[in-house]
Amino acid sequence: MDEKILEKYYLAKQKMHDLEELLEYYKEIIEEHLDKEGIDHIKTPYFTVHRRNMTIERMSKKNCPQEIWNDYCSVSTSRPLFVTKNGIKQRSRKAKSN
């Protein structure tokens, strides 16, 4: 395997992680403003923001009778790829948020 490809992938994942944190930071600022003003809609000359309440219903296997789970559960398979840099401890999202 080409070491350069692995390095580029690793660095891209790190940048993506940093950008996700930055997006979350800006989202929190916007939501704080909406909460402070008691509104769910903002329109500026260049942007429009809408905030909605959404409800998602889920079912947990431990809270469901086995026969119902077996009849109605959906199974999806994925193949995640994890590239880590040798000798470097990975950042933990949970550890950073505490």
**Is pLDDT above 70 for 89?**
yes
Does residue 88 fall inside a structural domain? no
Q: How far apart are CA 76 and CA 96, in angstroms?
A: 30
Does residue 85 fall inside a structural domain? no
What is the pTM (predicted TM-score) of this model?
A: 0.65
Q: What is the pLDDT of residue 96?
A: 53
Taking only the tens place, the pLDDT of each residue in 7-64 is: 999 999 999 999 999 999 999 999 999 999 999 999 999 999 999 888 988 888 999 9
Does residue 67 fall inside a structural domain? yes
Range of the domain at 40: 8-76
Task: Tell which residue, 4, 3, 13, has the closest CA to residue 81.
Answer: 13
Does residue 81 fall inside a structural domain? no
